[in-house]
């Protein structure tokens, strides 16, 4: 079974991505706070993490901190970073820290689905 951790402070995004990615072969765990995400990372090994950069307001960069945390513990875990407040500097920092991919919101769901499948995680989309 594949495991995906989704970290975002927006409940609608957590629900939408969880619905898109959950199936009989994939367990999706969601978290709205960095502390919850770190607890999940201490309990499970994830195949993919999708994380927003800002979890606590406009100045927050917890997603980048989480990326560094993940890569130090499990370098093989793929991490997709997303943000509504992107910049070239943030994008560069994400890739330097080991991000698999970086998105600025709104995210093209077809492209996200392809990136997830490229990680070896099948995505079943209801027709």
What pLDDT score was predicted for residue 127? 42
| Those residues with Cβ within 8 angstroms of residue 80's Cβ, 6 or more apart along the chain or in another chain | 48, 49, 50, 51, 99, 100, 101, 102, 103, 112, 115, 116
The residue assigned the tokens 């970073």 is: 81
- CATH code for the domain of 72: 3.40.50.2300
Looking at the domain assignment, is residue 125 inside a domain? no
pLDDT tens digits, residue range 58-99? 567 889 999 999 999 999 999 999 999 889 999 999 999 999
For residues 97 and 71, the answer to whether their CB atoms sit within 8 Å is yes
What are the residues facing 72 on neighbouring strands? none
pLDDT tens digits, residue range 13-72? 999 999 999 999 999 999 999 899 999 999 999 999 999 998 875 567 889 999 999 999
Looking at the domain assignment, is residue 124 inside a domain? no
pLDDT of 124 higher than 80? no
Q: How big is the chain, counted in residues? A: 127
For the chain, the domain total comes to 1
The residue assigned the tokens 């698999």 is: 100
By residue range, what is the domain housing residue 51? Answer: 2-118
Omega cis (within 30) before 71:
no
What pLDDT score was predicted for residue 59? 62
Looking at the domain assignment, is residue 32 inside a domain? yes
Rounded to an integer, the average pLDDT of 118-126 is 83
Where residue 125 falls among pLDDT bands split at 50, 70, 90? low
What pLDDT score was predicted for residue 55? 82
Looking at the domain assignment, is residue 9 inside a domain? yes
**Which tops the pLDDT comparison, 104 or 56?**
104
């Amino acid at each position: 079974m594949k495991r995906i951790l989704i970290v975002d402070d927006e409940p609608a995004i957590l629900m939408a991505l969880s619905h898109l990615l959950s199936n009989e072969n994939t367990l999706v765990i969601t978290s709205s706070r960095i502390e919850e995400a770190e607890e999940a990372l201490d309990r499970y090994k994830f195949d993919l993490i999708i994380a927003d950069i800002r979890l606590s307001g406009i100045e927050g960069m917890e997603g980048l901190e989480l990326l560094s945390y993940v890569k130090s513990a499990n370098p093989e875990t793929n991490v997709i970073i997303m943000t509504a407040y992107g910049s070239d500097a943030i994008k560069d920092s994400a890739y330097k820290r080991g991000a698999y991919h970086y998105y600025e919101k709104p995210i093209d769901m077809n492209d996200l689905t392809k990136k997830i499948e490229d990680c070896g995680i099948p995505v079943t989309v209801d027709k």
